[in-house]
Amino acid sequence: MVNSPPTSQSTNLPREFSFIRDHFGPLGGPAALGLRDDAAVFTPAEGRDLVVAVDTLVENVHFLPDDPPETIGRKLLRCNLSDLAAMGSKPEGWLLAFSRPAHITNDWTKRFSEGLHKDQETFGLSLMGGDTTSTSGPLVLSLTILGSVAHGQAIRRQGAKAGDGIWVTGTIGDGALGLQALQGTLEDPTGWLAEQYRLPRPRVGLPLFGLASAAMDVSDGLVQDCGHLARENGLHAVLYASTVPLSPAVQTAGSQWLPTCLTGGDDYEILMAVPPEHEAKLAASAMLDTPHGAVPVTRIGTFTNGPHTVTVLDDDGIPLTFPTGGWSHL
Amino acid sequence: MVNSPPTSQSTNLPREFSFIRDHFGPLGGPAALGLRDDAAVFTPAEGRDLVVAVDTLVENVHFLPDDPPETIGRKLLRCNLSDLAAMGSKPEGWLLAFSRPAHITNDWTKRFSEGLHKDQETFGLSLMGGDTTSTSGPLVLSLTILGSVAHGQAIRRQGAKAGDGIWVTGTIGDGALGLQALQGTLEDPTGWLAEQYRLPRPRVGLPLFGLASAAMDVSDGLVQDCGHLARENGLHAVLYASTVPLSPAVQTAGSQWLPTCLTGGDDYEILMAVPPEHEAKLAASAMLDTPHGAVPVTRIGTFTNGPHTVTVLDDDGIPLTFPTGGWSHL
């Protein structure tokens, strides 16, 4: 009889398998095959395209060791859900690559996976697979998300035309000011800002097809991301600063924080180009329905012909300048 | 006009985007949408299931800083391809999460992506997307692979029955002894062993459906992985040590290395359960055809009723014991 490999207490499973089964087993949907196969098997519904993205969070870069583990997992999943939402697609499943340093305890991982469990129920998807490795460095979490969309109906960054309105969901700047609040540079009496930073609300299920000519999610800062849309479409973007929707908490913080709001990132709202023929109806309701409730939408600017950059105008038509256009990951 | 974010030399792209475009842009297939959208869009062929897996390599755990970058990328892709091969599925695309420490230079990354470029052409798939982040720790590379298989034809680990033969592709132990050779504990005059460790040959395109009742790839050691199959199927596995196929280089190394070969891992061969009715034909040819050439297959044991473990017998029917059953990732 062959000696067993290193085992967990009560089974003859090697440690890695027991770790996966204990912490992530309950999250597995049908495609996961019990997390016991070499790969997951997912049958896309007929006539649906698959939409797939990956996002990584690194300890000390994207979160801190003493951040609550529940929200770290949920934020990671929500950032990915936001990518799906930007393409007008429906969540199906996710895979997790978990590179674990020695200081990440079982208790930490339990709370991390509990947060994910909660969110996958909210957003209607399930774990399909993953990989667990050890590392001598910080915790690295890479989440691959799979969604689906009716064939040919994925919304892309390309597709906007001069004259299209620039619209955004929700409010801008809450995440960026939430980070400031967590760093102690800003008062956050209601805790709203920190909450938005830790648990962004992905706009899953927005009915973008037939409405938006192009879309993306706002993750690196409104101005920088608007610049991406401008460049992708060979257009100039004009934004009107006073029309950018701000939450009560951001308004309370004061206008000196406006540059941070417009360039700070972590919004996870959806930025859309909307052709003029669809704007009147959108302006009338100022809302879009989703399976997770109605989402406010606001017109904040226009695409024009011109240099493939962004101009932000104040109420007097004077261009604003910012020390930085957004967040670069390297 | 808004100030630009930090840019690369000749464009107004932020650094991260220029890094991705320069190094990984040429690898993008149609699904990647130029690596410029929030997610990739892939249209599965009608009647095909999607097969998806993720694998991570961590610097200092799975490879060393002075390993050739070309082979690190290719090994990562090949490990994932091996997972697809075990399910009897066809490669379609891959996504890469690249967590980059400061010591990883552009030149390193260029060589890394060139290796991947070569292999994605060999194995007929293309890059669909990815994410690049910085890290203070070691380089962490997570690769998500997507494949497809005719609906319902994915081969699972479950499905074997008592009486099924245990078969394996190729040869066992080359990767494990290759690691020993690279660590200087074993002579490797032809370089064959190190080559197999660095560049395993995934058995992509094996015609497993209608042949194997269960399959998996051998990555953590033949004995441990055979134990997984035994456990998944509620069976006992009997392996005959002298029938395990060994390459000339492994045979030259000597029989004292047999335990390392059987438990060492890094084989990336396919372990199959084959029902008796399919064994005669398989034994006659001892080969399986794939789009990448014919692959030798060898019968190495039998599944029986009994404890859900593995027994390895020598030529006298005496059970062998090993100090460890295989490689655990934690």
Q: Which residues contact B138 (CB under 8 A, 6 or more apart)?
A: A135, A136, A137, B58, B59, B60, B61, B101
d(CA B103, CA B108): 9
| A292: closest CA of chain B, how far (Å) | 21
- Count chain A–chain B contacts defined by CB atoms under 8 A: 316
Answer yes or no: same fold for B15-34+47-150 and B165-313. no
pLDDT in tens, A218-236: 999 999 999 999 999 999 9
Do the Cβ atoms of B16 and A330 come within 8 Å? yes
- Tell me, which fold does domain A16-35+46-150 have in CATH? 60s Ribosomal Protein L30; Chain: A; (3.30.1330)
What is the interface pTM, i.e. ipTM, of the complex?
A: 0.88
- Tell me, which fold does domain B15-34+47-150 have in CATH? 60s Ribosomal Protein L30; Chain: A; (3.30.1330)
Q: Which residue among A58, A311, A325 sits closest to B5, beta carbon to beta carbon?
A: A325
Of B312, B300, B216, which is closest to residue B259 (Cα–Cα)? B312
The CA-atom distances, in angstroms, between B47 and each of A91, A92, A123, B24, B42 are: 21, 18, 27, 31, 14
Q: Band of the pLDDT at B26, cuts 50, 70, 90?
A: confident
Using an 8 Å CB-CB cutoff, list chain A residues near B220. Answer: 14
Q: Given a cut of 50, is residue B178 above it in pLDDT?
A: yes
pLDDT in tens, A18-33: 677 788 888 888 888 7
Q: Given a cut of 50, is residue B33 above it in pLDDT?
A: yes
Question: Between residues A133 and A36, which one has the greater pLDDT?
Answer: A133
Q: Which residue among A41, A57, A129 sits closest to B54, beta carbon to beta carbon?
A: A129
Do the Cβ atoms of A97 and B19 come within 8 Å? no
For residue A326, what are the β-bridge partners?
none
- Mean pLDDT for the stretch of residues A253-271: 95
Residue B107 near residue B19 (C-beta atoms within 8 A): no
Do the Cβ atoms of A140 and B144 come within 8 Å? no
- Mean pLDDT for the stretch of residues A115-130: 94
Using an 8 Å CB-CB cutoff, list chain A residues near B157. Answer: 36-38
Per-residue model confidence (pLDDT) at position B276: 98
| B189: closest CA of chain A, how far (Å) | 32
Q: Which residue among B14, B86, B321 sits closest to A3, beta carbon to beta carbon?
A: B321
Q: Band of the pLDDT at B11, cuts 50, 70, 90?
A: very low
Task: Map chain A to HEC letters.
Answer: CCCCCCECCCCCCEHHHHHHHHHHHHHECHHHHHHCCCCEEECCCCCEEEEEEEEEEEECCCECCCCCHHHHHHHHHHHHHHHHHHCCCEEEEEEEEEEECCCCCHHHHHHHHHHHHHHHHHHCCEEEEEEEEECCCCCEEEEEEEEEEECCCCCCCCCCCCCCEEEEECCCCHHHHHHHHHCCCCCCCCCHHHHHHHCCCCCCCCCCCCCCCEEEEECCCHHHHHHHHHHHHCCEEEEEHHHCCCCHHHHHHCHHHHHHHHHCCCCCEEEEEECHHHHHHHHHHCEEEECCEEEEEEEEEEEECCCCCEEEECCCCCECCCCCCCCCCC
d(CA B78, CA B268): 8
Q: Given a cut of 50, is residue A152 above it in pLDDT?
A: yes
One-letter amino acid for residue A313 of the chain: L
| A306: closest CA of chain B, how far (Å) | 12
> What is residue B212's three-state secondary structure?
coil
Do the Cβ atoms of B2 and A231 come within 8 Å? no
Of B317, B160, B170, B157, which is closest to residue B244 (Cα–Cα)? B170
* Residue B283 burial (10 A CB sphere; 0-12, 13-18, 19+): middle
Do the Cβ atoms of A99 and B12 come within 8 Å? no
Using an 8 Å CB-CB cutoff, list chain B residues near A14. Answer: 220, 224, 325-326, 328
Mutate to test the interface with B, among A41, A51, A149 (most CBs of B within 10 A): A41
What homologous superfamily does CATH list for B165-313? PurM-like C-terminal domain (3.90.650.10)
Share above pLDDT 70 across residues of chain B, in percent, rounded to a whole number: 92
Per-residue model confidence (pLDDT) at position B17: 56
Using an 8 Å CB-CB cutoff, list chain B residues near A320. Answer: 2
Q: Given a cut of 70, is residue B5 above it in pLDDT?
A: no
Phi and psi at B51, nearest 5°, equal -120, 130
pLDDT in tens, B244-294: 999 999 999 999 999 999 999 999 999 999 999 999 999 999 999 999 999
Q: Check the annotation: does A67 bind a ligand.
A: no
Nearest CA in chain B to A4: B325
pLDDT in tens, B262-273: 999 999 999 999
Nearest CA in chain A to B51: A41
Per-residue model confidence (pLDDT) at position B27: 87
Nearest CA in chain A to B150: A43
Q: Check the annotation: does A217 bind a ligand.
A: yes
Q: Which residue among A6, A133, A228 sits closest to B58, beta carbon to beta carbon?
A: A133
Q: Which residue among B16, B95, B227 sits closest to A329, beta carbon to beta carbon?
A: B16
| A198: closest CA of chain B, how far (Å) | 19
Q: Band of the pLDDT at B2, cuts 50, 70, 90?
A: very low
Nearest CA in chain B to A43: B49
Q: Given a cut of 80, is residue B63 above it in pLDDT?
A: yes
Q: Band of the pLDDT at B324, cuts 50, 70, 90?
A: low
| A19: closest CA of chain B, how far (Å) | 9
Do the Cβ atoms of B322 and A4 come within 8 Å? no
DSSP E strands, chain B = 40-42, 48-58, 90-100, 126-134, 140-150, 165-169, 214-218, 236-240, 269-274, 287-290, 293-304, 310-313
Q: Check the annotation: does A308 bind a ligand.
A: no
Q: Given a cut of 60, is residue A156 above it in pLDDT?
A: yes
Per-residue model confidence (pLDDT) at position A325: 52
Per-residue model confidence (pLDDT) at position A189: 95
- Mean pLDDT for the stretch of residues B71-76: 94
Q: Check the annotation: does A49 bind a ligand.
A: no
Domain boundaries, chain B: 15-34+47-150, 165-313
Per-residue model confidence (pLDDT) at position B328: 43
Q: Which residue among A147, A228, A328 sits closest to B15, beta carbon to beta carbon?
A: A328
Share above pLDDT 90 across residues of chain A, in percent, rounded to a whole number: 80
One-letter amino acid for residue A176 of the chain: A
Question: Taking the CB of residue B1, how many other CB atoms lie within 10 A of it?
Answer: 12
* Residue B6 burial (10 A CB sphere; 0-12, 13-18, 19+): middle
Q: Which residue among A41, A56, A134 sits closest to B51, beta carbon to beta carbon?
A: A41
Q: Given a cut of 60, is residue B13 above it in pLDDT?
A: no
> What is residue B95's three-state secondary structure?
strand
| A196: closest CA of chain B, how far (Å) | 21
Annotated binding site of B for ATP: 130-131, 157, 219
Which DSSP letter does residue B199 get?
Answer: S
pLDDT in tens, B91-145: 999 999 999 999 999 999 999 999 999 999 999 999 999 899 999 999 999 999 9
> What is residue B14's three-state secondary structure?
strand
